Structure 1
Amino acid sequence: MRRFVVIGFLMVAFVSCVLAQKPFTILDTVHVEEVVSYGVLKKYQSGAKIEKIQSSQFVLGQDGNLEQLLSRTLPIAFKTNAGGLATIRIRGSAPDHTSFNFGGININSLTLGHSNVSNVPVYLFDNVGVQFGSASSVNGSGSIGGAIHLGLQNNWTDGFKAEVRLANGSFGEQLYGTKLFLGNGKFESVTRAYYYAKTNDFKFMNPNYRDFENDIYEIEDTQHNANIENMGLLQEINYKFAEDEFFIFNVWLEKNWHLVQQNMGTNLGNPDFREDYNDDHIRIWAGYKNRKKPFKYEINGGYVFDNAVSNGNTNDTISTQRLIGEAFVEHAFIPNASYKVGAKATRINPTVYAYSASLNHEDRIDFYASYYHRLFNKLTATVNLRQGFVTDFNVPFTPSLGLDFLSLSKEVFVLNFTGNVSRSYRVPTFNDRFWVPGGNPDLNPEKGMNYELGTKWSYCNGTNSGNVKVNAFYMNIDDWILWKNGGSFWYAENVQSVESKGVEFMTDWSYLLFGRRISSGLNYTYTSAQRKESLNETNALNRQLEYVPVHAGNFFTSATVNKFEFTIDGSYTDKQYTDEEVKNILDAFFLLNTSVSYRFKINNKNQIRILGMVNNILNTDYQSSWGYAMPGINYRISLTYKLQ
């Protein structure tokens, strides 16, 4: 029923788009600074590696989720199954060491500590920024390995414009989405809605079959009970008082449901077994922003409600509510220097059936200060200081220092060197501290130190342009929290120290070849992430961590020919350990994908884009999570109609 309601809504939106052409005059759009932008992230973090997904790749990822986008465009490792669950691992860190930021909200679960990256739809956002390495001095708890920023852009639409998107793919995949923009140049309403579903009934070779008499040890099987159904709405209301003064109000509603994919053994032996998981989210972020010089300031506030239900058991409540307030002042007191000081406060009310009744709420307050200085137009230095306070918990002081040096600046190329040192931390999850039995309120925060050196060479001769970036990093994390088997129950403890070091290479180029514009890129990462100390008895000391490939990389190339755009991309993932024993090792694999799109205008106000994509065109048999099947070759076709 929900599916037909959503489809009906989108059809109404489509008809409205067409009918609205006559009564509305489509005027020019004035672009101002984005709410979350690459430049804002970079200013006070010199030497930090922060990447923004290129627009061409971002457009190709609009039909999928964030894991599919990032795994094909950046050197980042994911542990995933066939679409229901994906967790991120930046530079060998754990999933709960990366924060996912929407405005001033870290959308990570306060009970589990991480986000399911499969549930983050690319379609709702205008850009995605990724910070590699520690970001705790800027973002607070949970940014030991990195930070993801989900960006929205103020368009200040004057008139009306709209978009409708329809997609259909293999194994019952379908997406219906719409974006509606309405404004008068000062007031703007932006509505984004989507519905996504997939039956996931793909075929695969199951190695759990045993026919000793005929020497048959695998059989073609079909994945059962791995359905996905997600829907969401993101509503923006923006008002511009003046060119540098405006108000934003964002509401992100999300409802995610999936059947938990069973491993290949269960899928073969008990194909009717079902487990469902439902999580709902309400995220509200509002703020007044005054960016008039020399003093700029913001006052923001938010509310978050997260609720999870497993197997329809509403009695086992797992929900949290958050109230957030934040304010800061930025002052450019001389032309090449500025500082920013601010505070952020959060009141958290958990309602979890397995928590102690004595836990009513928790308060968190962070005070932070940042300083930026540019010297001789060559050297940029930044300092960030952050001190957090948590109810009945000690939070470490987290400073960071960054440098960016312009070494060479010639007519056609620029060479920069960067460096960054930063401290980071993570407050243990509510489950880690308060789950009964096993939670430990006396846990220490996980603490990290991050050291980074980088260089970037940029080239442009008017026809060809590109960048070559190399970063070397070293990160150690102490008091890493794990759950240990205590016999009668599991319990949380600060167990191990981890050392991660490596090199990242990234390049992107835009050039003419036979008169055609070509864009290409290549990314590679070498990551050595190892336990150096552990309270657990383990054979895995000084060995690569689980689900962290030593070598990983990807590439892409796209070419534009008249109204067509052709793209090919591939990704390589090295072998991976999956437990602390030398067994159940995932084989290395390579995935190759291709797409072609065609864009045409009906008239000056209407345009259509058709995109066809084939994933895993080599039909590679691989696993990303031990024992769980992944789909072979599959397709997706989408149609996007835009009223400009």
Structure 2
Amino acid sequence: MLINKYTYCFLIILMLAMGTMAQSVLKDSIIELNEFLIKADRLNEFSYGSKVQNAESSLIKQYKTQNLSDLIRSESSVYIKSYGPGNLATSSIRGASANQTAIIFNGFNINSPMNGISDLSLIPVCFFDDMQIQYGGSGTLWGSGAIGGSIHLNNQPVFNKGIKISAGSSIESFNSLRHNLDILLSGQKWVSVLRTFRLTAENDFPFYNTALSDTPLLNQTNSEIEQSGLIFENYFKLNEKQNLELILWYQKNQRNIPPNMLQVEEKANQDDESLRLTTEWKRSFSKTDIFIRSAFFNENILYEDKTNNILSLSTSSTLICETETKIRTGKDQLLNLGLNNTYISAKADAYNGSPDQNRISLFSLYRFSLLNKKLESVIFIRNCSM
């Protein structure tokens, strides 16, 4: 009993001593953190009065083996219209249609120029670091196609991280296999990130066919999917006032299209292939930031229906060039001036020729605060000509 008392006293003294040592070390030590580059885009700087929902990196990690429609459906109030596992999934914000919701990837609208929508089932969560949803009209910020709201997918580079490799896999029902691999090379003045993923699924789930008289229990047929892709990010600190980023995103998706409840057999399939290239250069001055960015998107959709002898190829290309200047005109005041030029061309069997469109947009935004930030206002002006 006496030994136990001495033991308890010794442990208490030891814990107090360790706590004192820890406090002294923390007080006199400098902890160096990895440099984290935060992009101050128009959403964060000029979204006063709008509801913006943020998905933190910890939440992104939970859905890393899922697609964007799974994340939005589970973690937001946005309505996701889905045609089943592996099939088309679109979003609706505040009752607006899918082509009235802009999908913004690092500042660029990636909605298809042919139908104005993005298939969220084809966007893997593992390809971006954070997500933001802006509710309500934001056409002055991002142009046409953002009447209902916008969904923002961003990548944030971290410098001085060294080498980091991470991988993940998931096995789900109906022979669904998902794999992803991330490789990070991070130095003092540059960062390179390679992210890859692969998904295969049979989607042979059972269902009651209520369209038939006896309502039989059947298994879904011709519903297999296969997706794979990579995104390669490069960030450079040219000097203390200049940054450069280059991003390549390539993805290929193959999926069979299941029959409807009245069809006996269906042999239709669709192949989607996309290539996205983006670049941005930033130059900072004492009160001014200048951005020059550009992007090239190419999309191919091949639809084949052997039952009805249909073979259709649709292609589209988008070239975006944009320059933007942000001027800090005073305390709690920011002026944003920009010019955007978007050229779109498309080709499909249903089109006569190869239609194209060249769209030039001028925009200006002014943010100011009054009464010690009790009143914050933003003035938007945007003019678009074709």
TM-score range, shorter chain: 0.7 to 0.9
Q: Distance in 2 between matches of 1:54 and 1:187?
A: 24
- Give CA deviations for 1:291-311 in whole Å, capped at 9, x if unaligned: 343001100011110111001
Q: Distance in 2 between matches of 1:181 and 1:244?
A: 24
Q: Distance in 1 between matches of 2:266 and 2:313?
A: 23
Q: Do structure 1's residue 123 and structure 2's residue 126 form an aligned pair?
A: yes
Aligned to 2:282: 289
- The amino acid of 1:361's aligned partner reads D
Q: Distance in 1 between matches of 2:311 and 2:260?
A: 27
Write the mapping of 1:20-59 to structure 2, written as runs, cut at 5 A: 29-34=34-39, 40-59=42-61
- Give CA deviations for 1:132-154 in whole Å, capped at 9, x if unaligned: 11010000011111111111001
Aligned to 2:238: 241
Q: Distance in 2 between matches of 1:243 and 1:75?
A: 41
- Give CA deviations for 1:522-564 in whole Å, capped at 9, x if unaligned: xxxxxxxxxxxxxxxxxxxxxxxxxxxxxxxxxxxxxxxxxxx
C-alpha contact (below 8 Å) 1:284/1:304 kept by paired residues: yes
C-alpha contact (below 8 Å) 1:124/1:192 kept by paired residues: yes
Q: Distance in 2 between matches of 1:227 and 1:66?
A: 19
C-alpha contact (below 8 Å) 2:57/2:129 kept by paired residues: no
Tell me how far 1:314 sits from its aligned partner: 9.9
List gaps (5 residues or longer) in structure 1.
Answer: 1-26, 211-216, 391-644
C-alpha contact (below 8 Å) 2:257/2:266 kept by paired residues: no
Pick closer, same or farther for the CA change 1:317–1:35 going to 2, 3 Å: farther
Aligned to 2:359: 364
Q: Do structure 1's residue 321 and structure 2's residue 317 form an aligned pair?
A: yes
Q: Do structure 1's residue 256 and structure 2's residue 253 form an aligned pair?
A: yes
Q: Distance in 1 between matches of 2:285 and 2:170?
A: 43
Q: Do structure 1's residue 341 and structure 2's residue 331 form an aligned pair?
A: no
Q: Distance in 1 between matches of 2:55 and 2:296?
A: 28
Using CA pairs below 8 Å that are at least 6 residues apart, which structure has the higher relative contact order?
A: 1
Identity of aligned residues (%): 26
User: Which of 101, 105, 117 does residue 108 from structure 2 map onto?
Assistant: 105
Write the mapping of 1:163-562 to structure 2, written as runs, cut at 5 A: 163-210=166-213, 217-266=214-263, 270=264, 272-311=265-304, 316-357=312-353, 359-375=354-370, 376-390=372-386
Pick closer, same or farther for the CA change 1:74–1:158 going to 2, 3 Å: closer
TM-score between the two structures when normalised by the length of structure 2: 0.86
Tell me how far 1:263 sits from its aligned partner: 2.6
Q: Distance in 2 between matches of 1:28 and 1:46?
A: 31
- Give CA deviations for 1:442-488 in whole Å, capped at 9, x if unaligned: xxxxxxxxxxxxxxxxxxxxxxxxxxxxxxxxxxxxxxxxxxxxxxx
- Give CA deviations for 1:418-443 in whole Å, capped at 9, x if unaligned: xxxxxxxxxxxxxxxxxxxxxxxxxx
Q: How many positions carry a matched residue from both structures? A: 350
Write the mapping of 1:489-638 to structure 2, written as runs, cut at 5 A: none
C-alpha contact (below 8 Å) 1:35/1:152 kept by paired residues: no
**SS of the counterpart of 2:174?**
helix
- Give CA deviations for 1:200-258 in whole Å, capped at 9, x if unaligned: 01112222332xxxxxx422211111111111110001101234421000011011111
Pick closer, same or farther for the CA change 1:105–1:315 going to 2, 3 Å: farther
**SS of the counterpart of 1:71?**
helix
Tell me how far 1:48 sits from its aligned partner: 0.9
**SS of the counterpart of 2:243?**
strand
Aligned to 1:156: 159
TM-score between the two structures when normalised by the length of structure 1: 0.52
Structure with the higher helix share, 1 or 2: 2
Pick closer, same or farther for the CA change 1:157–1:168 going to 2, 3 Å: farther
C-alpha contact (below 8 Å) 1:28/1:158 kept by paired residues: no
- Give CA deviations for 1:476-528 in whole Å, capped at 9, x if unaligned: xxxxxxxxxxxxxxxxxxxxxxxxxxxxxxxxxxxxxxxxxxxxxxxxxxxxx
Q: Distance in 1 between matches of 2:103 and 2:164?
A: 29
Q: Distance in 2 between matches of 1:344 and 1:367?
A: 6
Aligned to 1:69: 71
Tell me how far 1:319 sits from its aligned partner: 0.6
- The amino acid of 1:233's aligned partner reads L
CA-based RMSD of the aligned residues comes to 1.9
C-alpha contact (below 8 Å) 1:34/1:154 kept by paired residues: no
- The amino acid of 2:272's aligned partner reads D
